[in-house]
Amino acid sequence: MRIRPRFYIGGALIALAIAYLIVSAISSTSEYYLTVDEVGARQAELGRDPIRVAGRVKPGTISWEPNTLTLKFVIVPIPDPAPTAPVRPVSVKAVDSVSFPVFCEGQPKPDMLAENRDVIVEGKLTAGGVIIASQVMTSCPSKYQPKQSQ
Q: Summarize as ranges the residues that interact with another protein (CB under 8 A).
A: 1-4, 6-7, 10-11, 14-15, 18, 21-22, 24-26, 28-34, 38, 42, 52, 54, 64, 66-69, 106-109, 111-112, 120, 137, 139-141, 143-146, 148-150
Closest contact distance (angstroms) between CB of 39 and another protein is 11
* Minimum CB distance to another protein smaller for 14 or for 95: 14
DSSP code, position 79: P
- Residue 128 contacts residue 50 (beta carbons within 8 Å): no
- Residue 141 contacts residue 118 (beta carbons within 8 Å): no
* Minimum CB distance to another protein smaller for 92 or for 137: 137
**3-state secondary structure at position 26:** helix
Look at strands 131-138 and 100-105 and give their pairing.
Answer: parallel
* Minimum CB distance to another protein smaller for 3 or for 128: 3
